[in-house]
Amino acid sequence: MDPVVSSVISKQKRWRAEFEALRTIMLASGLDEALKWGQPCYSVEGTNVALMHGFKDYCAVLFHQGALLKDPKGLLVQQTPNVQAARQVRFTSVKDVEKHAKALAAWLKEATANARAGKKVELKKTEAFERPEEFEVELQADAALREAFAALTPGRQRGYLLHFSQPKQSKTRAARVQKHLPRILEGLGLDDE
């Protein structure tokens, strides 16, 4: 038991009992415990396997490579369509945790074996992400922009492509593109400062 994780859990207002019940299952799986991203995280041989986190309406265990897990009952949730590897199982009470304890233990065992074997979800390549026409027009018209965008890391490129593609209206997509062109030219990602 990591004392920092113990402290964080003891300060939980909404999900303390659920976190304590989940923690018991997590530690029984033999995983190492640490606080990462401000959340209790569980790993094996330095590879992150799962973490616990709380939201307004539920708490969850997120499996970093959850898309690889067998889920015949469909309990694992893909948070958004853009999440490729992670999956989470959600709980709203200690009773929920107890009800799904066996499934959670089985997923932890499977996820640990996958981590030890080095298995990873094959992620969609940046080239496969939609390039909105409003951004494509700018890229075609400006060689410096093309070069700057190509120099960004794949993750930063995907961040921009997802951000530009989200709005339904063309004028909103165009406004987003115009707003971020200077950042791309500076070599900054969407959330970089």
- pLDDT tens figures, 48-65: 999 999 999 999 999 999
pLDDT of residue 83: 82
Can you give the pTM of this predicted structure? Answer: 0.75
CB 29 within 8 A of CB 108: yes
Q: What is the mean pLDDT of residues 154-164?
A: 90
Just give the CATH number of 3-116.
3.90.1150.200
pLDDT in the model for residue 166:
87
Residue 41: strand, helix, or coil: strand
In this model, does residue 82 exceed pLDDT 80? no
Q: What is the mean pLDDT of the chain?
A: 92
From start to end of 85-173, where are the E strands? 87-91
* Tokens 């990602």 found at: 189
Rounded percentage of the chain residues whose pLDDT exceeds 90: 76
**Predicted local confidence at residue 118, as pLDDT:** 92
Question: Angle between the 170-185 and 154-165 helix axes, to the nearest 10 degrees?
Answer: 160
Compute the average pLDDT of residues 132-147: 93
CATH 3.90.1150.200 in the chain: give the residue spans: 3-116
Backbone conformation region of residue 90, classed left if phi is above 0, alpha if psi is from -120 to 50, else beta: beta
Residue 192 has a CB neighbour count (10 Å cut-off) of 11
Q: pLDDT tens, 2-32?
A: 889 989 999 988 999 999 999 999 999 999 9
DSSP code of residue 168? S
Res. 108: pLDDT tops 90: yes
**Which helix (H) or strand (E) segment is 49 a member of?**
strand 47-54
Question: What confidence score (pLDDT) does residue 184 get?
Answer: 94
